[in-house]
A = this chain, B = another copy of it.
């Protein structure tokens, strides 16, 4: 049987977080080299640190697709050094737990300088990408600041909110999260081109990014969820959960906080079926072979579902996963 494939010039919109999203995107670029890919990147993880504006997810996408990423860590630059961080610690400057590398700092210096000069984050991101040539159009979800904070319990029974990065990097998501608050999102607008990319897409893809603090964050920007509901393009997702565990990162801690089970089926149900009532996000969903038994239940929600290997263990398996997502989308709207 000949699988339907997207036409070469397909316009593909992808909502992406950091490492998982970036690796999937590398596979997508390989699977559809002539397509026009627009990435709507999560900026809820962004942080001002030591006076620098850091956009971890945008940079991970940019470095990964631009060939500058540390393959070993999955974030930050290859051949990285940490002289500045060591010196900042010697000055007693908090926080010391954030992994600011020297090469990486140059990116933040450029960004901070341009932001302070009045350029919006979208223009700054485009400027940074002129160096990295990621082969996709990389758009921040919003030019406005909307930062994820995590509500945690204190020893005395009270609660307080800490920046997502403090919870994620410093505490490795080991402190139970009561909830997440996207501070500032009510005043945020989708970044320039975001709505147009979703509405004008031939295919929309949700890669195996964190459903709560990556994809979930992007969906909270007023107007983006509505654009996904409206787009004529099929929306297909790739499960970030394999056999009840996150492919990478600590998505389980995030899902638990919002009362969603860490399983491919539960995430599909959380996103919901566009055909469902109330309408959700997904037309199609890829799960790993390890979760094949959940396919009938997911299809029962009104989401076309396929099981296949989803471990992004290298460039070729990742390209095949992306190709499978595109093929699923093509099947949904040939």
Give A residues with C-beta under 8 Å from B: 50-52, 81, 83-88, 90-93, 102-103, 105-107, 109-110, 112-113, 116, 128, 131
- Judging by beta carbons under 8 Å apart, are A52 and B109 in contact? yes
Residues of B within 8 A of A131 (CB): 90-92
A106–B90 Cα distance when bound, in Å, is 9
Given contact pairs A51-B112, A51-B113, A83-B83, enumerate 11 new A-B contacts (beta carbons under 8 Å).
Answer: A83-B102, A84-B84, A84-B102, A87-B102, A87-B107, A88-B106, A88-B109, A91-B107, A93-B106, A93-B109, A93-B113
- Report A113 CB to chain B, min CB distance, Å: 4
Question: How many copies of this chain does one complex carry?
Answer: 2
Given known pairs A51-B116, A81-B81, A81-B83, the reply for A91 and B110 (CB within 8 Å) is yes
Residues of B within 8 A of A52 (CB): 109
A227–B107 Cα distance when bound, in Å, is 46
- Report A53 CB to chain B, min CB distance, Å: 10
A91–B92 Cα distance when bound, in Å, is 30
Partner of A93, one of B51, B86, B92, B110: B110
Residues of B within 8 A of A83 (CB): 81, 83, 102-103, 106
Residues of B within 8 A of A103 (CB): 83-84, 86-87
- Judging by beta carbons under 8 Å apart, are B110 and A81 in contact? no
- Report A93 CB to chain B, min CB distance, Å: 6
A52–B107 Cα distance when bound, in Å, is 14
Residues of B within 8 A of A116 (CB): 51
Q: Which residue of B lies closest to A104 (CB)?
A: B87
Chosen A-B contacts, 15 in total, with CB atoms closer than 8 Å, are: A50-B109, A50-B113, A51-B116, A81-B81, A81-B83, A83-B83, A83-B102, A84-B105, A84-B109, A87-B106, A88-B106, A90-B106, A91-B131, A93-B113, A105-B105
